[in-house]
Amino acid sequence: MVKKTMFESNAGEGGFQDLWSKLLSMFNTGKEEVVRSSKVSKVRLDLSSLKKDRERVFERLGEEVYKKHKEKGISIPGLAPFFTEIEMIDNNLSSKGRELKELKGEAVSVPSVTETGTEFNKRPRKRYHRPNIISSEARQDVK
């Protein structure tokens, strides 16, 4: 009679090899799941980043359109309500700026749009640029 090792007696007929194969199989399955989950997370992050990039471009587009409207009186059908709303907000900003100066005891003058922080040439927000990414490449990542 052949003496069984500790692993063979606990693992039954295939012994240590069967146990080892099962462990490797479980490890590989877990590893594949982690890799897949990591790829899903990366694509979600890329999508989020691209949406933010798109929002920033729309913001700049809106600012440029408003700038052209103010500089040259350009009128674009359907945008008049937006221009009116922006002007109302600018007036409110000026009013709040005067109110703040009064509360602080400073000389009150009508603040310009620059002082209220709504001028087109305000300091731009930090924009993160992702070089070497072409929109078609980004779409290929998402499958």
The encoded tokens of residue 10 equal 């606990």
The pLDDT of residue 87? 94
- 61, 45, 62, 59: which is closest to 130 by C-alpha? 45
The whole-model pTM stands at 0.49
- 83, 89, 88: which is closest to 69 by C-alpha? 83
Residues 80-128 have pLDDT tens digits of: 999 999 999 999 999 999 999 999 988 766 555 544 454 444 555 555 5
The pLDDT of residue 37? 93
Q: Can you spell out the DSSP letters for 60-128?
A: HHHHHHHHHHHHH----TT-HHHHHHHHHHHHHHHHHHHHHHHHHTPPP----HHHHT--TTSPPPP--
Long-range contacts of residues 44-48, Cβ cutoff 8 Å, at least 24 apart = 46/138, 46/141, 46/142, 47/142
